[in-house]
Amino acid sequence: MSSTEEKSNDIEKVDATSTSVTPDKKPLTKRVLLISPGVSGVSFYLKQLELKYGKENAQIVYLPEPATHLKEGTEQLLDVINKFHPDILVAGSRGGKFMAEVLTHLTDEKSSKDNKPKFGVLLLSAMDTTRIISSGFPVLLYHSERDGTNPYQSVQEECSVFQSTAKLVTAPKTDSHHLVSLEKDERLFVDNLMEQIIEWTNHCDMNAITHNAEALKKKKTQVNNKLKMFEAIRKQEKS
């Protein structure tokens, strides 16, 4: 077994069903921003969040398709973040591209460090996870081992570098890029994944998160090197 594979196996696989929520536990009030497109059933999730945290604390931002309007959508998302001040952002699939652009902007060494927003990020089978994870923001990833769009092994490698702020939750084996488990269990999102990202964000200690561009650059290089090593091993195994 290669050293890359050994390190990958060090990442704990967290079963989404392993975290139970006490029924009598009063939920913390959080402001949650859902990003569309990318999150399937986003309107249903909004209703769940409104019931749990209050209508004033849940919102959807409808963005254009990132393939054709990435810049415009990113500017729109930044504007909503600055006005709504969310504690948690939720992005899925191609919505991850907007999330990556926003976090890249917020961690840019040229950006003002004053009054930078602080929030946790919940990713549901999202794309562009490398840039999101390497931002230094607390990230909880709900991802399937059978995801053919953004391979699970790559996501696992990325999380191994940023273990202090990135937590990988493995979706059931019945899932693929399309997370069927969220449809089968209507409470999984609001009672499980939302609870986990809130706890994880608190655990990461937002005040300790570094936005030092040089430090992040080194870790990003480490991520890219590990992914290249993994890809080389995979090609060798196929030959």
CB 160 within 8 A of CB 11: yes
In order along its 239 residues, the chain shows pLDDT tens digits of 444 333 443 444 445 544 434 444 444 568 999 999 999 899 999 999 999 999 999 999 999 999 999 999 999 999 999 999 999 999 999 999 999 999 999 887 555 555 678 899 999 999 999 999 988 899 999 999 999 999 999 999 889 888 889 999 999 999 999 999 999 999 999 999 999 999 999 998 655 554 444 555 666 676 667 666 666 666 676 66
Q: Where are the domains of the chain?
A: 3-238
Q: What angle do CA 41, 57, 77 make, to 5 degrees?
A: 70
Provide the pLDDT for residue 47: 96
CB 139 within 8 A of CB 132: yes
Q: Which position has the token pair 């604390």? A: 57
Structure tokens given for 40: 């399937």
Options 1.10.3090.10, 3.40.50.1820, 3.40.462.10, 3.40.50.1100; CATH for 3-238 is 3.40.50.1820
Provide the pLDDT for residue 108: 75
Going across the sheet that includes 120-124, the strands are 14-15, 166-170, 139-143, 120-124, 88-92, 32-36, 58-62
Comparing CA positions, the residue from 137, 158, 24 lying closest to residue 87 is 137
One-letter amino acid at 74 equals T
Provide the pLDDT for residue 63: 97
For residues 91 and 201, give the distance between their C-alpha atoms in angstroms, rounded to a whole number: 16
Provide the pLDDT for residue 107: 83
* Non-local CB neighbours of 32 within 8 Å, separated by 6+ positions: 49, 53, 57, 58, 59, 86, 87, 88, 89, 90, 194
Structure tokens given for 172: 């059931």
Structure tokens given for 156: 């696992």
For residues 131 and 91, give the distance between their C-alpha atoms in angstroms, rounded to a whole number: 14
How long, in residues, is the chain? Answer: 239
The verdict on pTM exceeding 0.75 is yes
